[in-house]
Amino acid sequence: MRIISGTLGGRRFYPPRNIPARPTTDVAKTALFNILNNIIDYEETQYLDLFSGTGAISFEMYSRGCRNITMVDMSSISVGFQKKLAGDLKVDQTVFKILKGDALQYINASTQTYRLIFAGPPYALEVIDDIPDMIIQHPKLLAEDGIFILETSDRHNFRQHPYLNQVRHYGQTHFWFFSHEKNLKDE
C-alpha cells in the first residue's frame, strides 16, 4: 500500500497479514481524493475515519494537509498498526486521535463535530444500511456544511436516500456522498 500524494506521497507501508481490514484499492482511493481535492480544504477540515482499518485514508488526509484527524477501529491489530505507522512516518502526534472502540458506539456517543466523515465498514456488517441515518440524524456529529462518505460493495443501494448527493463507483467499490442538503446529483 502507498500514500498517493502530499508531503508523504510515494511512501509505502505494509500492514500485517492478519489485519482484519479490507483496504480501499489504489484506484478507488485515487478517484476519491480527486473528488475531495475539489470540495474540501484539507487544512481546515475536522476529519473522522470510522472503521479505520489500515488507516490508509487518514494518512492520505494527513499527507494532504489535514491536521485534525480521529480514527476509530475496534481491532487491536488495526489500532496497533496505525500507531506504529504514525510513529514510522513521524506524523505530528497532536494531529491524530487513534481510538480503539466500536465505530457505531462512537457515532452515538460523540460530542465532536466533523466537516468530513468517512466510513469503510466491513462489507458483511449487518447495519451498513443504517449508518447514513445515524450520521445525518446525530445532532452534532456532521457539520452543517459537512460531507459523509460511505464505502460499500455493490450490494448496497442508497439512491433513494433523501440526503444522498452523489455516488461514484470503481469496480465493486461504491462511494456514497451524503450531506444535510437533500439533493441527488447524477454520477
Average pLDDT per run of 10 along the chain, which is 187 residues long? 94 91 88 96 97 96 97 97 96 93 96 97 92 96 97 93 94 94 60
CATH of domain 26-126+148-178: 3.40.50.150
Taking Cα atoms as reference points, which of 105, 51, 100 lies closest to residue 79?
100
Strands (E), 86-131: 96-100, 114-119
- Cβ-proximal residues to 101 (8 Å cutoff; 6+ apart), any chain: 72, 73, 74
List phi, psi (to 5°) of 146. -80, 170
pLDDT for 187: 47
Burial environment of residue 184 by CB neighbours within 10 A (0 to 12, 13 to 18, 19 or more): middle
Spacing of C-alpha 72 from chain mean position:
10
Q: Backbone phi, then psi, for 186, in 5-degree steps?
A: -70, 160
φ, ψ (nearest 5 deg) of residue 145: -100, 20
